[in-house]
Structure 1
Amino acid sequence: MGNCCNKEDQQEDSNITEYLRSGEINVIKKNYTGKILGTSKVCFENTSPIKIQNSQGILGKRTVKIHGCIIPGLDPRGEVDKDCQDNYIYFIEDNSILCALFDGHGKEGQKVSNFCIDFVSKFFKKNIKDFAYNAEETLIRMLHKCDEKLRRSKVPNEMAGSTAVAIYITSTSIYSASLGDSRGIIATLSDTIIPSPVPTHKFYKKITVKRNLKPVPLTTDQKPNHEEEFARIQTAGGCVEQVTDNFGKPIGPYRVWMKNKDYPGLAMSRSIGDRIAKRLGVIATPVCHDFQLYDTDQFIVIASDGIWDVMENIEVVNFVEMFKKGCGESTDLYPARPENSSIARMLCEEARFRWYGIIEAEDVMIDDISCIIVDFEDISGAMKAQVKERKVEAFHSMAIASQHNHANTSINEDDDETND
């Protein structure tokens, strides 16, 4: 798929630096036992990237480049007309950076994520000094107030809501607050090699890096089957189960349900909005962390699950490391190559390319894909710095015995009252 730009270095993989406008996949057909019956060819035209942004600022002694991109999701068969429900915003102000990314869900998910962007913009401008004084408390207050304002707004949010990742960066520290399963990581130099997972399908680009990087989580995904989250939901009267297909087989993620009802079906334990789920133990209190920023830190990636569902943390880190120096400011041109794309767009395009393999195996839609990449200027001699281990608070997942039969094989993750 595409042509090679450096024939000497990339003779083995001629599609390494290019993404095309059109796609072609062979969707596998299976019977109820999982036996493959054949394939059907599906050809489609990809959606164009939207909200492409590139900025530069100063953070202490470093020059910082920030790139953002959103690629709307797509039904390859053309049967569902899908709104893009991802959105993001960032600010460079007073030697600090605030990034916020939202992934809406439910029929009004686009309105919810847009509401969040508008609220954060106003909140940051009004409370910028509070961030400098107490960043963690201010991030919590920002997301709580966003949830409260949404509840009192005209935006329907009984069965709609959004994830949230908000990260505030100074010249010495990083503060994170998250709701749901959008995620933030930081790439830092390492003296050990972290292996990438073995590819499970043909839709991926070969990644080769010259430096060893380690992905450090800045946020923690919040799922209803995490032990602490499950206990809170159960105490509030909620039920946590997977959807089952017509043959009674559990499929997909664990979801929050009202007992003996087929709603709301939310696949996260914390969110903005989701008023019905809030009665069942889902909360808008973010999980927060704070970290020291080291000279060895290279870049931060904040993204929706449109990326994390198809790429592991180490794959994202290595991909950004491989391509970021060759990328320019982004356009919406195709074929997408480093010279006409920012690193944020290249990462989104790679994630979409990997979705092809998921579609072939499971016949699903391509999710909305969005990311912000904060690229720090490399500091020579950085490995000499003393670096302490940084860890996020982890949740313990658990298997849950089924109590009800939520049979629904046609759940749409974005356009119905569900989210993953």
Structure 2
Amino acid sequence: MGNCCNKEVSFKSTSNSEYLRTGTINIIKRNYLGNQIGVSKVSFENTPPIKLQTSIGSLGNRSIKIHGCIIPGLDPRGEIVKECQDNYIFFIVNNSVLCALFDGHGKEGQKISTFCVEFVGSYLKKYLNKFETNPEETLSKMLEKCDKKLNRSKIPNEMAGTTAVAIYINANNIYSASLGDSRAIIATISDVYIPAPIPTHNFYKPISVKRYLKPVALTTDQKPNHEDELARIKNAGGSVEQVTDEFGRPIGPYRVWVKDKDFPGLAMSRSIGDRIAKRVGVIAKPVCHDFKLYEADQFIVIASDGIWDVMENIEVVNFVEKYKNQCVESTDLYPAKPENSSIARMLCEEARYRWYGIIEAEDVMTDDISCILIELDEISSASNIPVKERNVQAFLSIAISPDINNTTSTDKDLNLLLD
């Protein structure tokens, strides 16, 4: 994330809890060396949310609210029409919850994420009893079977696919299954203060909370430069490299390639779809976890990287904690504020607001932004109930030197990247 050079923030409302629909940003112009040579003033109008939902139910003796929101990405210059590729679905049934969120990529990403949402709905109806008796295995099979059925469908998915996060919750436990870099966290009461990072640009709203909460990861991002993932990809004949610019400098995340080719360029090691990447070690077997649900747990956030790319876990937790009890409705009105927005929409709007800082510094498009937010009602004795440490099974990351993968030997074409 780059620094913003201009102190004028035209999208900033007079209220810290409002988000405007129109405004102006100042995109930095750079020369071939990366030095700033000027500023381009760009005015644009944001797209409203395309999917807003709220449901009320229960988990055992705890009442819950589930909110969902999707805000499409946007090219601020208006030169590219971007199709939203995020989608989600959630159910409250038999005192349990099933949520699934997908972030598509590639030419058919929107069709694939929609296919997955429809598949999950059908799968739950058919195998509800299996979710209740063996939730972790059922979640895993659901995503693997979704990948197989997609492969048999008429949707081209050789160079397109989607991430996936599926969460099943009953009165006592949380079960997760994930593919790619969409993510889920849970916020729990803590007696330890966790500092939030200091933003590097002006596009953020100060957040202060009255109590300490701790984010606990429910999923782990799956990147191709993680040790086990890298070994599997190399054994399958693939390579893992960064894109390089015209001067041989690495750009962006590590990506999966067919060896000595300039495709597919996938920035994750597991996904649904992506048939070509599957030939070189990318898999559709999700990483699964199960966790105890405690009375101290306050809410769960499931989101695409449109949020995680601009907000750290603790920032998301503090933002939701600050505004969740102020939110009343779920509309697409502007200016967006707690009085006319769900907490899921407020979180998506804050993430989009932070994207303006990246746009100004790096001249990029806003990513699609989506989330599901599950509010758990508060229990007065929650702070007195001991909470055991919960950790996801993290991958070991390694640095890949150019000597290992010959990073600079191939000029990867940026136009071929999928995400």
Does TM-score exceed 0.5, indicating one fold?
yes
Aligned counterparts of 1:21 and 1:124: Cα–Cα separation in 2: 37
What is the CA deviation profile of residues 373-396 of structure 1, one whole-angstrom value per residue up to 9, with x for unaligned ones? Answer: 000000002111021000001111
8 A contact 1:15–1:205 mirrored in 2:
no
Aligned to 1:197: 197
Deviations 1:255-283 (A, max 9, x none): 00011111000000000000000000000
Percent identity over paired residues: 70
Distance (whole Å) between structure 2 residues aligned to residue 410 and residue 241 of structure 1: 13
| Partner of residue 135, structure 1 | 135
Q: CA 1:220/1:19 → structure 2, altered by over 3 Å: closer, same or farther?
A: same
Task: Give the letter for the 2:188 counterpart.
Answer: T
Cross-structure match for 2:60: 60
CA deviation vs aligned residue, 1:58-91 (integer Å, no higher than 9, x gap) = 1111110000000000000111111000000000
Q: Which amino acid aligns with 2:45?
A: E
The reply on whether 1:227 has 2:227 as its aligned counterpart is yes
SS at match of 1:326: coil
Distance 1:234 1:165 in 2: 26
Q: How does 1:285-296 map to 2 (within 5 A)?
A: 285-296=285-296
Q: Give the partner amino acid of 1:77.
A: R
Query: TM-score, with normalisation over the residues of structure 1?
Result: 0.95
Q: Deviations over 1:197-238 (max 9, x none)?
A: 011100001101001000000000000001110000000000
Query: Counterpart of 1:219 in 2: which secondary structure?
Result: coil
1:356 deviation in Å?
0.2
Aligned to 1:122: 122
3-state SS of paired residue (1:314) = helix
Name the SS for the 2:325 alignment partner.
helix
Deviates more, 1:250-259 or 1:401-410: 401-410
- Aligned to 1:120, the other structure's residue is in SS state helix
- Mapping for residues 3-402 of structure 1, pairs under 5 Å: 14-402=14-402
Contact kept in structure 2, 1:2 and 1:17, CA below 8 Å: no
Cα displacement (A) at 1:397: 1.4
Letter of the 2:292 counterpart: Q
**Residues 182 and 57 from structure 1, CA distance in 2 versus in 1: closer, same or farther, beyond 3 angstroms?**
same
SS of equivalent to 1:325: coil
Contact 2:73 2:84 in 1 (8 A): yes
Q: Distance in 1 between matches of 2:146 and 2:377?
A: 33
Q: Is the 8 A contact 2:242 2:407 kept in 1?
A: no
Task: Return the offset for 1:31.
Answer: 1.9
Report how many residues are paired: 406
For the 8 Å contact 2:243–2:414, the answer to whether it is kept is no
Contact 2:123/2:142 (8 A) holds in 1: yes
CA distance in 2, matches of 1:396, 1:22: 43
| Counterparts of 1:246 and 1:408, CA distance in 2 | 10
RMSD: 1.2
1:401 is displaced (CA, Å) by: 2.5
Does structure 2 conserve the Cα–Cα contact (< 8 Å) formed by 1:186 and 1:215?
yes
Native 8 Å contact 1:72 1:367 kept in 2:
yes
> How far apart, CA to CA, are the structure 2 residues paired with 1:174 and 1:261?
41
User: Residue 260 of structure 1 contacts residue 404 of structure 1 at CA under 8 Å; is this kept in 2?
Assistant: no
How far off its partner does 1:34 sit?
A: 2.2
Instruction: Answer yes or no: is the 8 Å Cα contact 1:190–1:212 preserved in 2.
Output: yes
**Paired residue secondary structure (1:39):** strand
Deviation at 1:16, TM superposition (A): 0.8
CA deviation profile, 1:172-219 (whole Å, cap 9, x unmatched): 000000000000000000001000001110000110100100000000
For each residue in 1:348-394, what CA deviation from the matched residue of structure 2 results, as whole angstroms up to 9, or x when unmatched? 00000000000111111000000000000000021110210000011
Q: Is the 8 A contact 2:11 2:24 kept in 1?
A: no
The alpha-carbon distance between structure 1 residues 194 and 85, as it changes in their structure 2 partners (threshold 3 A), is: same
What is the DSSP-based 3-state SS (H/G/I as helix, E as strand, rest coil) of the residue aligned with 2:243?
A: strand
In the superposition, the TM-score normalised over structure 2's length comes to: 0.95
Q: Point out the more displaced range, 229-238 or 28-37.
A: 28-37
Distance 2:368 2:294 in 1: 32
Q: C-alpha separation between the residues in 2 aligned to 1:97 and 1:360?
A: 40
8 A contact 1:246–1:409 mirrored in 2:
no
Contact 1:179/1:222, CA 8 A, preserved across alignment? yes
Instruction: Give the AA of the match of 1:407.
Output: D
Work out the CA distance in 2 between the residues paired with 1:42 and 1:15: 23
* Amino acid of the structure 2 residue aligned with 1:381: S
In the TM superposition, residue 29 of structure 1 has moved relative to its aligned partner by 1.4
In structure 2, runs of 5+ residues without a counterpart are 1-9
Amino acid in the other structure paired with 2:155: V
CA contact (8 A) 1:86 1:369 kept: yes
- Tell me whether 244-253 or 397-406 shows the greater mean CA deviation: 397-406
Aligned-residue offset at 1:408? 5.0
What letter matches 2:89 in structure 1? I
Q: CA deviation at 1:23?
A: 3.0
Higher mean C-alpha deviation, range 22-31 or range 66-75: 22-31
2:4 maps to what in 1? none
